[in-house]
């Protein structure tokens, strides 16, 4: 594996190997000295053209825990504001010695473009490209689900696990990558949202629902994954009011009480508390939100290790 561009590029065996390796990395993260010498002398560039808290910081931490050097690039405050292109920016950073480029960009397909032209020769990791994909998010979500449904997560797939992804499906790279990866791992994946945000064209091969209460009753999910309403990607009005969205598609305490008490609640963050999820649900015993963040570091260590150490995965 040279790059990680799409969750759909992973075979079931590759995905399970990455999840198992992330479990090993998680053991390192529980040690007093959280460091391995594995990537000493290698350089990871975090090339972020869009804002991020979790993804950027966890890639930085992951690289540092593997003893790599890290360069953090944010478009804000850089020569991008003077008109420098993605190609010139990436080539400039590679000329300084980058072995891997972690790219977040608002344009769908940007990571593929970087990887599949002769612009750069580094490993490219897609850290979110527009509304298209966010493969390491899907991997950390799968890791969290595997831990939540099994005391012995290593080696297992997600066969028999029912996952309900809820909300702004259209704009969600998290939903798209999760659909690909969770299905590869054998989960039964359903999506639910307003018709304006969960179009049939996106989900024609999927189980599609338009009302959350109906979806919960029909699916009886083991996992409910709430998505952020991405107002910044909306050019029109997709639902009547925030109050209406929250009433029909939001997760709240009383709706959570209608589900199995062991249902796992996931959210990729950042959360719009009071819109797609209320505080009681976000902070409930069902909530895996902080487990997702913790697992993000382990998954990104596993991905960097696999791409940069010359492993066979």
The binding site for ligand CP (CB under 6 A) comprises 52-55, 128, 137, 268-270
Q: Which is nearer to ligand CP, 259 or 271 (CB)?
A: 271
192 forms beta bridges with 166, 209
Residue nearest to ligand CP (CB): 55
Minimum separation from the CB atom of position 180 to ligand CP (A): 16
C-alpha–C-alpha distance, residues 242 and 229, integer Å: 10
Q: Which is nearer to ligand CP, 56 or 209 (CB)?
A: 56
Exposed/middle/buried for residue 21 (C-beta within 10 Å: 0-12, 13-18, 19+)? buried
Q: Which is nearer to ligand CP, 219 or 268 (CB)?
A: 268
Minimum separation from the CB atom of position 212 to ligand CP (A): 21
CA R_g for the chain: 19
Q: Which is nearer to ligand CP, 65 or 300 (CB)?
A: 300
Q: Which is nearer to ligand CP, 213 or 232 (CB)?
A: 232
């Amino acid at each position: 594996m040279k790059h990680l561009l799409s969750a759909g590029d992973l075979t079931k065996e590759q995905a399970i190997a990455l999840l198992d390796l992330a479990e090993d990395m998680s053991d390192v993260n529980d040690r007093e000295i959280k460091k391995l010498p594995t990537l000493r002398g290698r350089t990871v560039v975090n090339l972020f053209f869009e804002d991020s808290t979790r993804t950027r910081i966890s890639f930085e931490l992951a690289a540092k825990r593997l003893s790599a050097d890290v360069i953090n690039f944010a478009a804000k405050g850089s020569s991008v504001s003077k008109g420098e292109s993605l190609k010139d920016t990436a080539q400039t950073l590679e000329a300084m010695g980058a072995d891997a480029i972690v790219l977040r960009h608002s344009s769908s397909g940007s990571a593929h473009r970087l990887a599949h032209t002769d612009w750069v020769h580094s490993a490219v990791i897609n850290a979110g490209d527009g509304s298209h994909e966010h493969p390491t998010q899907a991997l950390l979500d799968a890791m969290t689900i595997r831990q939540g449904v099994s005391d012995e997560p290593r080696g297992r797939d997600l066969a028999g696990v029912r996952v309900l992804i809820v909300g702004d499906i259209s704009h969600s790279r998290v939903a798209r990558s999760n659909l690909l990866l969770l299905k590869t791992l054998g989960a039964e994946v359903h999506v639910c949202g307003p018709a304006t945000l969960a179009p049939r064209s996106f989900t024609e091969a999927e189980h599609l629902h338009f009302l959350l209460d109906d979806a919960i009753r029909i699916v009886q999910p083991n996992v409910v994954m709430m998505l952020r309403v991405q107002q910044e990607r909306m050019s029109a009005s997709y639902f009547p009011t925030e109050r209406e969205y929250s009433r029909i598609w939001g997760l709240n305490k009383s709706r959570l009480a209608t589900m199995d008490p062991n249902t796992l609640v996931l959210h990729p963050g950042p959360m719009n508390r009071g819109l797609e999820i209320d505080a009681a649900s976000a902070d409930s015993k069902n909530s895996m939100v902080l487990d997702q963040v913790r697992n993000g570091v382990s998954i990104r260590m596993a991905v960097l290790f696999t791409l940069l150490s010359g492993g066979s995965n």
